[in-house]
Structure 1
Amino acid sequence: MFPDRLIVPEELGVEEDAGGATAVTFRVRLPWYRALPMDGLHLSDVAFDGRPVASDRLDVEIDGTWRPYEDVAGLRDAWWFVLDPLRVRVRGLEPVADGEHKVTATVGARVPYIVLGTEALVIKETLTRALPLNARSAA
């Protein structure tokens, strides 16, 4: 739809856990014009500063609760609304310095009401965007 708007151009969020590992958060938009069930979310090819991120290090925030990305496939009653960017968290990073960082993500969604052959349509968009990080003010 609008791949240049896929990753919201705002400051990265940063968190540190008790073990000293760092997580960053960013927001992505739904690459479709209507709300879709959350169980059709496809999040892949995520990279932080050019380094690929495994899917088991990703969380998504749904209705104010962080959930491992791998658990999203079972969420049949949750919806992603077109005006609500989805917050994504990348866990297990080394400490991250202030400044710009490149985030890459492929975001897709299954459109259950458009069937091609025997499979529902899956739309995907990819974007790399430089996002600012100010660790003293980001959350």
Structure 2
Amino acid sequence: MEKQVIQSVGFRNIKDEDGNVTGFQFKVRLPYYRGIFLSQIRPGTLYVDGEKIEKDEIIWNINGEDFTNEEMAADFQRHWSVTTPAVLKVKKAGGLAQGYHDLKYGFCFTSSYMPPIIQAHLDPDQENMVFMPEFGHHVNERRLLIV
């Protein structure tokens, strides 16, 4: 895996069974020295070439299984390992054009050693959120190429 959270490998358009391009995908690695349970993930908003893509348009694929935000929030059993990147599948009719694209994505995760009252207010989309490294709040930017 690469050092950057947003990985360059795996950035591509995705197709349905009929061959229609329905979106694109990219990979992210967990920037934490331990793995986390899916319920600890707090997905953020994605910006592609300045266009805002809402959380509900993104499916997380972890260990080969797809999850919506709601499914992850309720899943206390499945674990995301630090050595396995997650694939984020983004719904976007027609996908992305061939060429370079600027991605900006932020997500957070909670930690078992942080007080629950603080974690309840954790939102990676809040512009005025106080940056606290203990929460694993990461905003990542990367320019990637689709060929």
Q: Scaled by the length of structure 2, what TM-score is found?
A: 0.77
Unaligned stretches of 5+ in structure 2?
120-133
Give the corresponding residue for 2:13.
14
SS state of the match for residue 5, structure 1? coil
In 2 relative to 1, CA 78–100 (structure 1 residues): closer, same or farther, beyond 3 Å? same
Number of residue equivalences: 130
Q: Scaled by the length of structure 1, what TM-score is found?
A: 0.81
Higher relative contact order (CA 8 A, sep 6+): 1
Give the corresponding residue for 1:63.
63
Give the corresponding residue for 1:82.
82
| Alignment partners' CA distance in 2, 1:93 and 1:105 | 20
Of the structure 1 ranges 17-26 and 41-50, higher mean CA displacement relative to structure 2 is found in: 17-26
SS state of the match for residue 76, structure 1? coil
Indicate the structure with greater strand content. Answer: 1
In 2 relative to 1, CA 95–35 (structure 1 residues): closer, same or farther, beyond 3 Å? closer
| Alignment partners' CA distance in 1, 2:92 and 2:35 | 31
Unaligned stretches of 5+ in structure 1?
135-139
- Alpha-carbon RMSD: 2.1
Shift of 1:21: 5.3
- The question of 1:124 aligning with 2:137 is answered yes
In 2 relative to 1, CA 95–63 (structure 1 residues): closer, same or farther, beyond 3 Å? closer
Give the corresponding residue for 1:54.
54
Write out the 4+ residue segments of structure 1 that deviate beyond 6 Å after TM superposition. Answer: none
- The question of 1:96 aligning with 2:109 is answered no
In 2 relative to 1, CA 14–21 (structure 1 residues): closer, same or farther, beyond 3 Å? closer
CA deviation vs aligned residue, 1:10-53 (integer Å, no higher than 9, x gap):
25121133594531110111121111111111110211111111
Q: Is the 8 A contact 1:11 1:132 kept in 2?
A: no
Give the corresponding residue for 2:127.
none
Give the corresponding residue for 1:137.
none
